Amino acid sequence: MIVQEAVEHLELFGYCLLEEAIPAEQAERMAERYFALHEEPTNRAYLQNPDDDLYQTLFSLLNLDELCWACVAHPDVLAIARHFLGPDIRVAEACSKWVKPSAPAGGVHTDSAHDLPDLLPDTPWMINSIWMMTDFTEEIGATRIMPSSHRLRRRPPKGMNADDRRLLPITGRRGSVFLWHGGVWHANGANTTQDQDRMALNIAYYPPWWNLAREGGHQPVWPETFERMPKELQELTRHRVARTRAEFYESG
């Protein structure tokens, strides 16, 4: 029933929230792990923008942290993603997102739609998800979305800001997961606190027909990582096993 209600909410409003999908204690352990991974100098190559100190995205988490595997293959999340994308879904990337105190809000956007036609597809091309590893509050920079905007099949207008009153902050307890349609208008909120960090795990699911080579910065699954994965996770990532991004896409 939880999954069905979530599917109906996402279909209508473009997003859904599964509260406390993992225990809070598990989320706390994962947050501590991710803070450490972001601070590790050898991982700077996997930062989306090493020069942005206030908002950091760390790619290649499937290789760096086995704790995220249970979230990637969470049965309720997979059921929701498969409802919209079909049975043979793919995981493109799992990355951690650290929003530090005083980090500004991000731009309002749709996901992976920069080179799609002006009228976006009516078939979902992506179901994205954010796992809340710390409590998400409006003050700490909770994701903000415009409900039902995916039904417009348009990108947000230029100049639209994250403080637009039509954008709703998605708040929740650590351990909760927020899923959304790639076409919904959204942005990360500003962290207006002086001493609170927001940590999240971002996992993106795609249909089998989507060209993952267009997703800049996403990293492959290393062969030794793939060998350790449980079978269900291997099914979700079997299409992107390689040592380097260049090796994977050049060989394809």
Tens-place pLDDT, residues 157-175? 998 999 999 999 999 999 9
Bridge partners for 221 per DSSP:
241
**Total domains in the fold of the chain:** 1
pLDDT band at 252 (very low <50, low <70, confident <90, very high): very low
Percent of the chain residues past pLDDT 90, beyond the cut: 88
DSSP 177-234: EEEEETTS-EEEPP---SS--EEEEEEEEE-TTS-GGGSTT--PBPHHHHHHS-HHHH
Dump pLDDT digits (tens) for 67-121: 999 999 999 999 999 999 999 999 989 999 999 999 999 999 999 988 899 999 9
The whole-model pTM stands at 0.95
pLDDT in tens, 46-60: 999 999 999 999 999
Read off the pLDDT of residues 198-221 as tens digits, 9 standing for 90 and up.
999 999 999 999 988 878 889 999
Q: For residue 143, what is the domain's CATH number?
A: 2.60.120.620
Determine the structural domain holding residue 42 and report its residue range.
2-251
